[in-house]
């Protein structure tokens, strides 16, 4: 099994793009996760993913 890539230092938009690309390559959404240091970071990531989802 491959280890998870580290995305430290990327914007939330860039992370959302990476997840979307992984999904397009066949990875299930349920097999991916974002680990956040705090709730504020979690909210930013959730917002970025929601914005990207709206663009589909």
| Contacts of the segment 12-18: beta carbons below 8 A, 24+ positions apart | 12/44, 12/45, 12/47, 12/48, 13/48, 13/51, 13/52, 15/45, 15/48, 16/45, 16/48, 16/49, 16/51, 16/52, 17/52
Is residue 6, in this structure, part of any structural domain at all? no
Q: What is the pLDDT of residue 3?
A: 63
Q: What is the pLDDT of residue 56?
A: 60
**Structural domain boundaries, residue 16:** 12-55
Number of domains in the chain: 1
Residue 27 counted as domain residue: yes
Predicted confidence at residue 2, as pLDDT, reads: 62
pLDDT digits (tens, 9 = 90+) for 1-54: 566 667 778 888 888 888 889 999 999 989 998 888 899 989 988 998 888 777
Prediction pTM value: 0.71
Identify the pLDDT of residue 9: 83
């Amino acid at each position: 099994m491959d280890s998870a890539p580290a995305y430290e230092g990327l914007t939330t938009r860039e992370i959302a793009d990476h997840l979307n690309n992984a999904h397009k390559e066949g990875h299930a959404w349920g097999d991916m996760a974002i680990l956040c240091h705090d709730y504020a970071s979690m909210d930013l990531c959730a917002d970025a993913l929601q914005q990207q989802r709206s663009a589909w």
